[in-house]
Amino acid sequence: MKPINVGIMGVGTVGGGTATVLKRNAEEISRRAGRAIVLKMAANLDIARAREIVGDGIEIVSDARVVATHPDIDIVIELIGGTGIAKDLVLTAIDHGKHVVTANKKLLAEHGNEIFARAREKGVMVAFEAAVAGGIPIIKALREGLAANHIEWIAGIINGTSNYILTEMREKGLPFADALAEAQRLGYAEADPTFDIEGHDAGHKLTIMAALAFGIPMQFDKCYLEGISTLTAQDIRYAEELGYRVKLLGITRRTAAGIELRVHPTLIPESVLIANVNGVMNAVLVKGDAVGPTLYYGAGAGALPTASAVVADIVDIARLATADPEHRVPYLAFQPDRIADLPLLPIEAVESSYYLRVCVIDKPGVLAELTHILADESISIEALIQKGSERDGQAEIVLLTHRVVERRVQSAIARIEALASVTDKVVRLRMEALNG
Ligand SMILES: NC(=O)c1ccc[n+]([C@@H]2O[C@H](COP(=O)([O-])OP(=O)(O)OC[C@H]3O[C@@H](n4cnc5c(N)ncnc54)[C@H](O)[C@@H]3O)[C@@H](O)[C@H]2O)c1
Ligand SMILES: N[C@@H](CCO)C(=O)O
Ligand code: NA
């Protein structure tokens, strides 16, 4: 069969890794794909740097439009990132009848509905395994392997940078800023690392997974985001004393009222497998009604792990390129005319358990005031510990609650903070058992 020609736009961490894997495993890849995959062109702002990475024999240009529109290119690989030029280039490539592979979760979570509609119109494929959890084949699992199931929920550690930071802080006592700098040096972080540490990147990935799991459109704007930048070492330590680890989780759950879509630091029991997922590793738990809980684990970022997913998509496209578009797996797992308009729940309507830390003046009756407010809001307490405080005459009360709707906790916190004996803002973290 005729070789498939690919062109890479953006030769950075992932682009470089993709060129390496295509070269290193060329023989096995062609045995799988049924034809040779040829890296024909690459575009990068810095041509000399790209030349160093991809070597000789490949045309390198600085204008990525040349790749997106070139008549010899069958598959365009978008590895620039962001929603500016990357969006124009992807739409241009589609309009020129190219199949597209992208690792760009921001682009898909924010503009996926438009991009997939355009691809359908033009009869081309848009593949994005690398966009969620790097090298872990989670898109394949959700779209194909679990197709029999009514998926109930997904919970995942899906930002390698944040997990790396949390692990380095916990295991080596590294300050936040040092751990972040190291994640950047290793090529894990986004161009703007705020996206990693404030939960945006995880929100993008969660939005994509929710679309695949529930057959809903991409709705990143309705995703609740809370990152790790305000987490304190003290709360991580208290959580551990109570038998929990703190992880940045993306959680999406189907309930009778609608779909939860939320990213936040979460206490999880140290006994669950995913509590021990450390460093840049990612893990995604998916609960299907037939299969039960399933767990997917692997490197969530980095040049070669991400390239593994990019190249797998290229192989998929090479195998399917001649198939009638009707016979291809739908981009978002569900047939495009069967996408459902299920409501997404605001965070106030989400149900969870909570960790609350309250700083109080250490005097009789304070505890009674707190428990009275919680009882009044129908919040039941699962555990309570009192800690001395570094501040004279003060104490800290740490409470774990049973499951309750968030608006009740918000209301209780407002009432607690209004008490004269409470000296600081209440720290509130969510808690999930991950067994339901
Ligand atoms: N780094 C990872 O581990 C990882 C993992 C999964 C997904 N991703 C995603 O992959 C994409 C690329 O990430 P990266 O880490 O490789 O980024 P990077 O910054 O290392 O590489 C981007 C490259 O694109 C080039 N570029 C920028 N604008 C360009 C333009 N207009 N024309 C041509 N080239 C241009 C830059 O010169 C750079 O070499 C992003 O969408 C990112 O979210 C990254
Ligand atoms: N910045 C992302 C890259 C992988 O998508 C992360 O740290 O997980
Ligand atoms: Na993946």
Q: Give all domains of the chain, ordered by start, each with its CATH number.
A: 4-135+304-338 (3.40.50.720), 139-299 (3.30.360.10), 350-431 (3.30.70.260)
Q: Which of 175, 205, 172 is nearest to 282 (CA)?
A: 205
Residue 403: which pLDDT band, with cuts at 50, 70 and 90?
A: very high
Phi/psi of residue 246, each to 5°?
-105, 125
Residue 257: which pLDDT band, with cuts at 50, 70 and 90?
A: very high
Q: Which of 13, 79, 81, 10 is nearest to 46 (CA)?
A: 10
* Residues taking part in catalysis: 205
- The answer on pLDDT for 372 being more than 80 is yes
Query: b/e map of 76-98 (b: 16 or more CB within 10 Å)?
Result: bbbbbbeeeebbebbbbbbebeb
Ligand 1 binding site (Cβ under 6 Å of any ligand atom): 9-15, 43-46, 64, 79-81, 85, 103-104, 130, 134, 187-188, 190-191, 301-302, 306
For residue 318, what pLDDT is reported?
95
Any residues with CB less than 8 A from the CB of 112 and at least 6 apart, and which? 208, 211, 218, 332
Q: Which of 190, 217, 232 is nearest to 331 (CA)?
A: 217
State which amino acid sits at residue 396.
Answer: E
Residue 111: which pLDDT band, with cuts at 50, 70 and 90?
A: very high
Average pLDDT of the segment spanning 406-410: 98
For residue 123, what pLDDT is reported?
95
Residue whose CA is at the smallest distance from ligand 2 atom 3: 301
For residue 233, what pLDDT is reported?
87
Residue whose CA is at the smallest distance from ligand 1 atom 37: 45
Question: What does DSSP say about strands 259-269 and 292-299: parallel, antiparallel, or unpaired?
Answer: unpaired
Average pLDDT of the segment spanning 11-28: 97
The predicted-structure confidence for 90-103, as pLDDT tens digits, reads as follows 999 999 999 999 99
Which range, of 28-42, 58-72, 118-132, 312-326, averages the lowest pLDDT? 312-326
Q: Which of 136, 106, 436, 105 is nearest to 283 (CA)?
A: 136
Reading phi first (left if > 0) and then psi (alpha if -120 to 50, else beta), residue 55 is in left
Triad 67, 68, 70: Cα angle to 5°? 60
For residue 390, what pLDDT is reported?
80
Ligand 1 atom at shortest distance from the alpha carbon of 189: 1
- The answer on pLDDT for 369 being more than 90 is yes
Q: What is the DSSP track for 75-117?
A: EEEE-S-SSSHHHHHHHHHHHTT-EEEE--HHHHHHHHHHHHH
The predicted-structure confidence for 174-223, as pLDDT tens digits, reads as follows 889 999 999 999 999 999 999 999 999 999 999 999 999 999 999 999 99
User: d(Cα 344, Cα 241) in Å, to the nearest integer?
Assistant: 35
CB 125 within 8 Å of CB 322: no
Q: What does the CA dihedral 53, 57, 60, 65 come to, rounded to 10 degrees?
A: -120
Q: What is the DSSP track for 212-271?
A: HHHT----GGG-EE--STT--HHHHHHHHHTTEEEEEEEEEEE-SS-EEEEEEEEEEETT
Q: Which of 150, 262, 252, 257 is nearest to 211 (CA)?
A: 252
Q: What percent of the chain has pLDDT over 90?
A: 93
- The answer on pLDDT for 436 being more than 80 is no
Q: Which of 14, 49, 77, 104 to mutate to test the pocket of ligand 1 (most atoms within 8 A of CB)?
A: 14
What is the 309 CA–ligand 3 centroid distance (Å)? 6
Average pLDDT of the segment spanning 147-172: 96
Q: What is the DSSP track for 311-365?
A: HHHHHHHHHHTTS-GGGSPPTTSS-GGG---PPBPPGGG-EEEEEEEEEEE--TT
Evaluate if pTM is beyond 0.90. yes
Determine whether the shortest distance from the Cβ of 160 to ligand 2 is under 6 A.
yes
Residue 356: which pLDDT band, with cuts at 50, 70 and 90?
A: very high
Number of Cβ within a 10 Å radius of residue 45: 13
Q: What is the mean pLDDT of the chain?
A: 96
Residue 435: which pLDDT band, with cuts at 50, 70 and 90?
A: confident
Any residues with CB less than 8 A from the CB of 381 and at least 6 apart, and which? 371, 374, 399, 400, 401, 402
DSSP 167: H
Tokens of 426: 């209440």
Residue 324: which pLDDT band, with cuts at 50, 70 and 90?
A: confident
Residue 397: which pLDDT band, with cuts at 50, 70 and 90?
A: very high
For residue 56, what pLDDT is reported?
92
Question: What does DSSP say about strands 224-225 and 259-269: parallel, antiparallel, or unpaired?
Answer: parallel
The predicted-structure confidence for 215-252, as pLDDT tens digits, reads as follows 999 999 999 999 999 999 899 999 999 999 999 999 99
User: d(Cα 62, Cα 65) in Å, to the nearest integer?
Assistant: 9
What is the 71 CA–ligand 2 centroid distance (Å)? 32
Reading phi first (left if > 0) and then psi (alpha if -120 to 50, else beta), residue 322 is in alpha
Residue 391: which pLDDT band, with cuts at 50, 70 and 90?
A: confident
